[in-house]
Amino acid sequence: MAWLHRLLPEAASSLAPGVDAVFSLIFWMSLFWFVVIQGVLIFFVLRYRKNRTRYPAFHSVALEVFWTLVPTFLVMVLFVYGWRQFRNLRYAPSDALEIHVTGRQWLWQFTYPDGRTTLNDLVVPLNRDVQIVMKSADVLHSFFVPAFRVKQDLLPDRYTRLWFRATRADTFEIYCAEYCGTGHSRMLGRVIVLPEDAYETWKNRGEGGTASTKRVDPVERGRQVYETRGCKACHSIDGSRGVAPSFLGLYGHSVELEGGETVLADENYLRESILDPQRKVVKGFQPVMPPFQGVLSEEEVDAVIAFIRSLGTEEGE
Protein backbone atom coordinates (compact mmCIF):
# COMPACT_ATOMS: atom_id res chain seq x y z
CA MET A 1 0.00 0.00 0.00
CA ALA A 2 2.01 2.89 -1.31
CA TRP A 3 -0.16 5.64 0.09
CA LEU A 4 0.17 4.28 3.64
CA HIS A 5 3.92 4.39 3.31
CA ARG A 6 3.73 7.96 2.16
CA LEU A 7 2.28 8.80 5.56
CA LEU A 8 5.42 7.44 7.21
CA PRO A 9 8.83 9.11 7.23
CA GLU A 10 11.28 7.79 4.65
CA ALA A 11 12.79 4.45 5.62
CA ALA A 12 16.58 4.49 5.70
CA SER A 13 17.78 1.79 8.09
CA SER A 14 17.83 -1.98 8.16
CA LEU A 15 15.35 -1.88 11.06
CA ALA A 16 12.77 0.27 9.31
CA PRO A 17 11.04 -2.42 7.20
CA GLY A 18 10.41 -4.59 10.28
CA VAL A 19 8.98 -1.70 12.28
CA ASP A 20 6.83 -0.63 9.35
CA ALA A 21 5.56 -4.19 8.92
CA VAL A 22 4.35 -4.29 12.53
CA PHE A 23 2.81 -0.88 12.11
CA SER A 24 1.02 -1.93 8.91
CA LEU A 25 -0.33 -5.12 10.46
CA ILE A 26 -1.75 -3.21 13.44
CA PHE A 27 -3.11 -0.52 11.14
CA TRP A 28 -4.92 -2.91 8.77
CA MET A 29 -6.20 -5.11 11.56
CA SER A 30 -7.58 -2.06 13.36
CA LEU A 31 -9.14 -0.72 10.19
CA PHE A 32 -10.74 -4.08 9.40
CA TRP A 33 -12.31 -4.46 12.83
CA PHE A 34 -13.35 -0.82 12.91
CA VAL A 35 -15.32 -1.27 9.69
CA VAL A 36 -16.82 -4.59 10.80
CA ILE A 37 -17.89 -3.37 14.24
CA GLN A 38 -19.21 0.00 13.05
CA GLY A 39 -20.99 -1.74 10.18
CA VAL A 40 -22.76 -4.16 12.51
CA LEU A 41 -23.58 -1.31 14.87
CA ILE A 42 -25.14 0.80 12.12
CA PHE A 43 -26.98 -2.19 10.73
CA PHE A 44 -28.51 -3.02 14.12
CA VAL A 45 -29.46 0.57 14.79
CA LEU A 46 -31.37 0.74 11.53
CA ARG A 47 -32.79 -2.76 11.50
CA TYR A 48 -34.05 -2.81 15.09
CA ARG A 49 -34.88 0.83 15.69
CA LYS A 50 -38.58 0.03 16.34
CA ASN A 51 -40.44 -2.63 18.35
CA ARG A 52 -37.58 -3.21 20.70
CA THR A 53 -39.71 -5.50 22.92
CA ARG A 54 -40.04 -8.02 20.11
CA TYR A 55 -36.35 -8.92 20.27
CA PRO A 56 -35.42 -9.67 23.87
CA ALA A 57 -31.76 -9.98 24.82
CA PHE A 58 -30.47 -13.52 24.91
CA HIS A 59 -27.32 -15.16 26.20
CA SER A 60 -25.15 -17.56 24.21
CA VAL A 61 -22.14 -19.22 25.78
CA ALA A 62 -20.85 -20.30 22.39
CA LEU A 63 -20.93 -16.72 21.10
CA GLU A 64 -19.21 -15.41 24.24
CA VAL A 65 -16.43 -17.97 23.91
CA PHE A 66 -16.07 -17.23 20.20
CA TRP A 67 -15.62 -13.49 20.59
CA THR A 68 -13.28 -13.95 23.52
CA LEU A 69 -11.01 -16.48 21.79
CA VAL A 70 -10.74 -14.71 18.44
CA PRO A 71 -9.46 -11.38 19.86
CA THR A 72 -7.17 -13.26 22.25
CA PHE A 73 -5.63 -15.09 19.33
CA LEU A 74 -5.24 -11.90 17.29
CA VAL A 75 -3.66 -10.05 20.20
CA MET A 76 -1.21 -12.94 20.70
CA VAL A 77 -0.26 -12.73 17.02
CA LEU A 78 0.45 -9.02 17.45
CA PHE A 79 2.46 -9.71 20.58
CA VAL A 80 4.67 -12.39 19.06
CA TYR A 81 5.19 -10.48 15.83
CA GLY A 82 5.92 -7.22 17.71
CA TRP A 83 8.16 -8.95 20.24
CA ARG A 84 10.38 -10.35 17.51
CA GLN A 85 10.89 -6.87 16.05
CA PHE A 86 11.44 -5.42 19.51
CA ARG A 87 14.15 -7.96 20.23
CA ASN A 88 15.77 -7.08 16.95
CA LEU A 89 15.76 -3.40 17.95
CA ARG A 90 17.13 -4.11 21.42
CA TYR A 91 20.14 -6.25 20.70
CA ALA A 92 22.87 -4.78 18.56
CA PRO A 93 25.20 -7.04 16.56
CA SER A 94 28.30 -7.49 18.70
CA ASP A 95 30.72 -6.01 16.15
CA ALA A 96 28.81 -2.75 15.86
CA LEU A 97 30.76 0.50 15.75
CA GLU A 98 30.22 2.20 19.11
CA ILE A 99 29.53 5.93 19.33
CA HIS A 100 28.80 7.69 22.59
CA VAL A 101 26.14 10.36 22.89
CA THR A 102 25.64 12.87 25.64
CA GLY A 103 22.41 14.84 25.69
CA ARG A 104 22.57 18.28 27.23
CA GLN A 105 20.23 21.19 27.51
CA TRP A 106 20.09 21.70 24.53
CA LEU A 107 22.47 19.93 22.22
CA TRP A 108 23.75 16.52 21.21
CA GLN A 109 27.38 15.69 21.77
CA PHE A 110 28.81 12.68 19.93
CA THR A 111 32.08 11.00 20.89
CA TYR A 112 33.68 8.61 18.39
CA PRO A 113 35.94 5.62 19.11
CA ASP A 114 39.05 7.68 18.33
CA GLY A 115 38.06 10.25 20.93
CA ARG A 116 37.00 13.07 18.72
CA THR A 117 33.67 14.77 19.30
CA THR A 118 31.07 16.46 17.14
CA LEU A 119 28.09 18.51 18.18
CA ASN A 120 24.62 17.94 16.71
CA ASP A 121 26.10 16.21 13.65
CA LEU A 122 26.42 12.44 13.92
CA VAL A 123 28.61 11.04 11.16
CA VAL A 124 28.19 7.32 10.44
CA PRO A 125 29.27 4.95 7.69
CA LEU A 126 26.74 3.51 5.27
CA ASN A 127 25.74 -0.16 5.69
CA ARG A 128 27.63 -0.61 8.96
CA ASP A 129 26.04 -1.55 12.27
CA VAL A 130 26.33 1.39 14.63
CA GLN A 131 25.58 1.19 18.31
CA ILE A 132 24.78 4.42 20.15
CA VAL A 133 25.61 4.48 23.88
CA MET A 134 23.79 7.34 25.51
CA LYS A 135 23.59 9.30 28.70
CA SER A 136 22.29 12.66 29.74
CA ALA A 137 24.31 15.37 31.46
CA ASP A 138 21.21 16.88 33.02
CA VAL A 139 17.55 15.94 32.48
CA LEU A 140 15.75 13.32 30.39
CA HIS A 141 16.16 13.61 26.64
CA SER A 142 15.18 11.19 23.90
CA PHE A 143 17.22 10.37 20.83
CA PHE A 144 14.85 9.96 17.89
CA VAL A 145 15.68 9.36 14.24
CA PRO A 146 12.36 8.90 12.44
CA ALA A 147 13.97 7.71 9.19
CA PHE A 148 15.71 4.89 11.10
CA ARG A 149 12.65 4.07 13.24
CA VAL A 150 14.73 4.20 16.41
CA LYS A 151 14.04 6.14 19.60
CA GLN A 152 15.51 5.83 23.06
CA ASP A 153 15.51 7.95 26.21
CA LEU A 154 18.73 9.37 27.67
CA LEU A 155 18.99 9.36 31.45
CA PRO A 156 21.38 11.00 33.87
CA ASP A 157 23.68 8.53 35.69
CA ARG A 158 22.76 5.60 33.49
CA TYR A 159 23.67 4.35 30.01
CA THR A 160 21.08 3.41 27.45
CA ARG A 161 21.68 2.01 23.99
CA LEU A 162 20.22 1.71 20.57
CA TRP A 163 21.58 0.58 17.25
CA PHE A 164 20.88 0.91 13.55
CA ARG A 165 22.37 0.22 10.16
CA ALA A 166 21.88 3.09 7.75
CA THR A 167 20.94 1.92 4.28
CA ARG A 168 21.00 5.25 2.43
CA ALA A 169 23.79 7.81 2.18
CA ASP A 170 21.97 11.00 3.03
CA THR A 171 21.29 13.38 5.90
CA PHE A 172 18.52 12.62 8.37
CA GLU A 173 16.93 14.55 11.22
CA ILE A 174 17.60 13.79 14.88
CA TYR A 175 14.91 15.01 17.23
CA CYS A 176 14.76 15.19 20.98
CA ALA A 177 11.53 13.38 21.76
CA GLU A 178 11.31 14.06 25.49
CA TYR A 179 10.35 17.50 26.77
CA CYS A 180 13.51 18.83 28.40
CA GLY A 181 12.93 22.54 28.95
CA THR A 182 12.82 25.79 27.03
CA GLY A 183 15.17 24.73 24.23
CA HIS A 184 13.57 21.32 23.68
CA SER A 185 12.06 22.08 20.27
CA ARG A 186 15.38 23.38 19.02
CA MET A 187 17.40 20.42 20.26
CA LEU A 188 17.90 19.22 16.71
CA GLY A 189 20.69 17.26 15.15
CA ARG A 190 21.51 15.44 11.95
CA VAL A 191 22.75 11.99 11.09
CA ILE A 192 25.11 12.26 8.16
CA VAL A 193 25.48 8.88 6.48
CA LEU A 194 28.63 8.65 4.37
CA PRO A 195 29.68 5.85 2.01
CA GLU A 196 32.56 3.84 3.47
CA ASP A 197 35.34 5.66 1.59
CA ALA A 198 33.95 9.14 2.36
CA TYR A 199 33.64 8.08 6.00
CA GLU A 200 37.28 6.97 6.06
CA THR A 201 38.31 10.30 4.57
CA TRP A 202 36.30 12.14 7.21
CA LYS A 203 37.82 9.98 9.93
CA ASN A 204 41.37 10.46 8.74
CA ARG A 205 41.03 14.20 8.60
CA GLY A 206 41.77 13.94 12.29
CA GLU A 207 40.52 17.09 13.93
CA GLY A 208 37.19 17.19 15.72
CA GLY A 209 35.36 19.06 13.02
CA THR A 210 32.01 18.17 11.57
CA ALA A 211 31.54 16.76 8.10
CA SER A 212 30.28 20.10 6.91
CA THR A 213 33.32 21.92 8.23
CA LYS A 214 35.16 23.95 5.64
CA ARG A 215 37.78 26.62 6.06
CA VAL A 216 35.96 29.86 5.50
CA ASP A 217 36.37 33.36 6.84
CA PRO A 218 36.15 33.49 10.65
CA VAL A 219 32.82 35.34 10.86
CA GLU A 220 31.09 32.94 8.46
CA ARG A 221 32.72 30.05 10.25
CA GLY A 222 31.56 31.48 13.56
CA ARG A 223 28.00 31.71 12.28
CA GLN A 224 28.25 28.07 11.25
CA VAL A 225 29.49 27.07 14.70
CA TYR A 226 26.74 29.19 16.28
CA GLU A 227 24.12 27.39 14.23
CA THR A 228 25.37 23.82 14.45
CA ARG A 229 26.96 23.54 17.85
CA GLY A 230 24.08 24.41 20.07
CA CYS A 231 24.63 28.15 20.78
CA LYS A 232 21.53 28.99 18.80
CA ALA A 233 19.16 27.17 21.13
CA CYS A 234 19.70 29.74 23.89
CA HIS A 235 21.47 32.83 22.52
CA SER A 236 19.55 34.99 20.06
CA ILE A 237 21.31 37.27 17.60
CA ASP A 238 18.43 39.74 17.23
CA GLY A 239 18.51 41.12 20.75
CA SER A 240 15.56 39.10 22.03
CA ARG A 241 15.93 37.69 25.50
CA GLY A 242 15.99 33.90 25.59
CA VAL A 243 17.26 31.43 28.13
CA ALA A 244 20.57 33.23 27.79
CA PRO A 245 21.72 36.74 26.88
CA SER A 246 21.49 37.76 23.21
CA PHE A 247 24.71 38.10 21.24
CA LEU A 248 23.49 41.28 19.53
CA GLY A 249 25.52 44.27 20.60
CA LEU A 250 27.26 42.27 23.31
CA TYR A 251 30.83 42.74 22.26
CA GLY A 252 32.58 45.71 23.83
CA HIS A 253 29.81 46.43 26.32
CA SER A 254 29.87 46.05 30.05
CA VAL A 255 27.90 43.18 31.48
CA GLU A 256 26.38 43.08 34.93
CA LEU A 257 26.94 39.79 36.74
CA GLU A 258 25.12 37.95 39.49
CA GLY A 259 26.63 39.36 42.63
CA GLY A 260 26.78 42.93 41.39
CA GLU A 261 30.16 42.86 39.67
CA THR A 262 30.54 44.29 36.16
CA VAL A 263 32.81 43.03 33.40
CA LEU A 264 33.67 44.19 29.93
CA ALA A 265 32.58 41.77 27.21
CA ASP A 266 35.90 41.44 25.43
CA GLU A 267 37.59 38.40 23.88
CA ASN A 268 38.85 37.07 27.17
CA TYR A 269 35.48 37.33 28.85
CA LEU A 270 33.74 35.65 25.89
CA ARG A 271 36.33 32.92 25.78
CA GLU A 272 36.05 32.23 29.48
CA SER A 273 32.25 32.23 29.29
CA ILE A 274 32.29 29.72 26.44
CA LEU A 275 34.76 27.34 28.05
CA ASP A 276 33.67 27.74 31.67
CA PRO A 277 30.27 29.46 31.72
CA GLN A 278 29.63 29.08 35.45
CA ARG A 279 32.49 31.39 36.40
CA LYS A 280 30.72 34.63 35.49
CA VAL A 281 26.94 34.36 35.30
CA VAL A 282 25.08 37.30 33.81
CA LYS A 283 22.62 38.94 36.20
CA GLY A 284 19.08 37.65 35.78
CA PHE A 285 20.03 34.36 34.08
CA GLN A 286 20.31 30.81 35.35
CA PRO A 287 23.69 29.03 35.26
CA VAL A 288 22.48 26.36 32.82
CA MET A 289 25.12 26.44 30.08
CA PRO A 290 27.38 23.38 29.86
CA PRO A 291 31.14 23.99 29.74
CA PHE A 292 32.58 23.84 26.22
CA GLN A 293 36.12 23.18 27.43
CA GLY A 294 37.44 20.31 25.30
CA VAL A 295 34.27 20.31 23.21
CA LEU A 296 34.94 23.19 20.85
CA SER A 297 38.32 23.38 19.20
CA GLU A 298 40.47 26.49 19.57
CA GLU A 299 39.61 27.37 16.00
CA GLU A 300 35.89 27.16 16.76
CA VAL A 301 36.16 29.31 19.87
CA ASP A 302 38.00 31.96 17.87
CA ALA A 303 35.37 31.79 15.16
CA VAL A 304 32.44 32.20 17.56
CA ILE A 305 34.12 35.21 19.13
CA ALA A 306 34.65 36.71 15.67
CA PHE A 307 30.99 36.10 14.94
CA ILE A 308 29.81 37.73 18.19
CA ARG A 309 32.08 40.65 17.46
CA SER A 310 30.55 41.04 14.00
CA LEU A 311 27.10 41.42 15.58
CA GLY A 312 27.88 45.02 16.35
CA THR A 313 29.08 47.11 19.20
CA GLU A 314 26.52 49.89 18.60
CA GLU A 315 23.33 48.58 20.19
CA GLY A 316 23.02 48.97 23.95
CA GLU A 317 21.55 46.49 26.44
Q: Which of the stretches 71-79, 81-89, 175-183, 299-307 binds ligand CUA when contact is defined by CB under 6 A?
A: 175-183
Among 130, 145, 180, 237, binds ligand CUA (CB under 6 A): 180
We find the least distance from the C-beta atom of residue 103 to ligand CUA, in angstroms, to be 6
Among 176, 248, 304, 308, binds ligand CUA (CB under 6 A): 176
We find the least distance from the C-beta atom of residue 105 to ligand CUA, in angstroms, to be 7
Report the amino acid identity of residue 124: V
Which of residues 183 and 249 has its CB atom nearest to ligand CUA in the complex?
A: 183
For position 132 contacting ligand CUA by CB under 6 A, the verdict is no
Q: Which of the stretches 21-29, 119-127, 180-188, 281-289 binds ligand CUA when contact is defined by CB under 6 A?
A: 180-188
We find the least distance from the C-beta atom of residue 137 to ligand CUA, in angstroms, to be 11
- x-marked contacts with ligand CUA along 101-130 as a string, rule CB under 6 A: --x--x------------------------
Among 141, 223, 229, 309, binds ligand CUA (CB under 6 A): 141
3-state secondary structure the chain: CHHHHHHCCCCCECCHHHHHHHHHHHHHHHHHHHHHHHHHHHHHHHHCCCCHHHCCCCCCHHHHHHHHHHHHHHHHHHHHHHHHHHHHHHCCCCCCEEEEEEEECCEEEEECCCCCEEECEEEEECCCEEEEEEEECCCCEEEEEHHHCEEEEEEECECEEEEEEECCCCEEEEEECCCCCCCHHHCCEEEEEECHHHHHHHHHCCCCCCCCCCCCCHHHHHHHHHHHCCHHHCCCCCCCCCCCCCCCCCCCCEEEECCCCEEECCHHHHHHHHHCCCCCCECCCCCCCCCCCCCCCHHHHHHHHHHHHHCCCCCCC
Among 149, 165, 184, 235, binds ligand CUA (CB under 6 A): 184
Q: How far apart are CA 269 and CA 125, in angstroms?
A: 39
- x-marked contacts with ligand CUA along 53-92 as a string, rule CB under 6 A: ----------------------------------------
Q: Which of the stretches 66-74, 179-187, 209-217, 293-301 binds ligand CUA when contact is defined by CB under 6 A?
A: 179-187
Q: What are phi and psi of 202, to 5 degrees?
A: -60, -45
We find the least distance from the C-beta atom of residue 120 to ligand CUA, in angstroms, to be 12
Among 15, 89, 132, 187, binds ligand CUA (CB under 6 A): 187
We find the least distance from the C-beta atom of residue 231 to ligand CUA, in angstroms, to be 16
The residues that touch ligand CUA, with contacts defined as CB under 6 A, are 103, 106, 141, 176, 178-180, 184, 187
